[in-house]
Amino acid sequence: MKNTFKLQKTYKKILILFEKKNYKKCFKIINKIIPLLDDNEKLFFNFIKQQGLTLFYLKKYQEAIFYLELALNKSVDEKNIYELQKYLFNNYFKLGDYENIIKYGLTLTQHKKIPLFEKAKVLSIVSRFYYLKFLQSNKKVYLIRGLYYNTECQNVFKELNDNSSKDYMYTLYDCADINFGLEDYDTAINYYEKVENKTNDPDVLFGVYSNLSYIYKKKGYLDTMLYYKRKLNSLR
């Protein structure tokens, strides 16, 4: 396809359709054009990148990965690289692919221009998925890695002077669970108590009270165990 002007006009039309969230029409148009393009053509990158984004919003995550990775391999612009890696991270998050969530999450946090709040959220997710890998395999090495990135996440929240948001609260909750898994019960108690003071979410409190009652039973403090058992029962 040699008509560059026509290609540019079509690409602008696609961007307008994309902005209007008409993703199905975007997909159909791009799908017809890509086979006609030489992969060395100037606009080839734009079309494959846009197809990756379009497929993401169509919730065709596995198909989106092919185009996003193809675009990433052809990209030299830092802004494009960051955007594509962010979409790949979100794709793998939707697919529940632990390894690639961690891989692309850590890659994102290395970008110099990543907003601090976004960096904190990504580090929190990386930490959480290391904890989930532990639950899957019972290998404590994943807890140690999760704790490292959770600590990094908390440091970013401190830099942001943010200790009241829901995102920060979930970071503390993850830290409590990680220390619980490591059987560092005193540290876990400290974090569970912080979480309790920051939320009224019954699902979060259910986890907090369940684990605190277990810890105090393990430590032999039966009165405290019963106290948290009563709190747990009050949620039902």
Q: What is the pLDDT of residue 42?
A: 73
Confidence of residue 7 (pLDDT cuts 50, 70, 90): confident
Alpha helices in the chain (DSSP H): 4-19, 23-33, 44-57, 61-74, 78-95, 98-109, 116-137, 140-160, 166-181, 185-196, 202-219, 222-234
Confidence of residue 2 (pLDDT cuts 50, 70, 90): low
Are residues 151 and 136 in contact, defined by beta-carbon separation less than 8 angstroms?
no
State which CATH number among 1.25.40.10, 3.40.47.10, 3.30.565.10, 3.40.50.1100 fits the domain covering 116-236: 1.25.40.10
Q: What is the pLDDT of residue 113?
A: 83
Concatenated DSSP letters for 174-220?
A: HHHHHHHHTT-HHHHHHHHHHHHTT---HHHHHHHHHHHHHHHHHHT
Q: What is the pLDDT of residue 29?
A: 95
Residues 180, 214: Cα–Cα separation, whole Å? 10
Q: What is the mean pLDDT of residues 54-76?
A: 95
Q: How far is CA 74 from CA 49, 71, 81, 114, 213, in A?
A: 10, 5, 9, 21, 54
Q: What is the mean pLDDT of residues 152-166?
A: 95
Percent of the chain with pLDDT over 90: 88
Q: Domain limits of the chain?
A: 1-114, 116-236
Highest-confidence range of 34-43, 70-79, 220-229, by mean pLDDT? 220-229
Confidence of residue 16 (pLDDT cuts 50, 70, 90): very high
Give the model confidence (pLDDT) of 102-148 as tens digits. 999 999 999 988 999 999 999 999 999 999 999 999 999 999 999 99
Whether 1-114 shares its CATH topology with 116-236 is answered yes
Q: What is the pLDDT of residue 204?
A: 96
State which CATH number among 1.25.40.10, 3.40.50.970, 3.60.15.10, 3.20.20.70 fits the domain covering 1-114: 1.25.40.10
Confidence of residue 1 (pLDDT cuts 50, 70, 90): very low
Q: What is the mean pLDDT of residues 168-190?
A: 97
State the chain's mean pLDDT as an integer. 94
Taking 70 as the threshold, does the pLDDT of residue 163 lie above it? yes
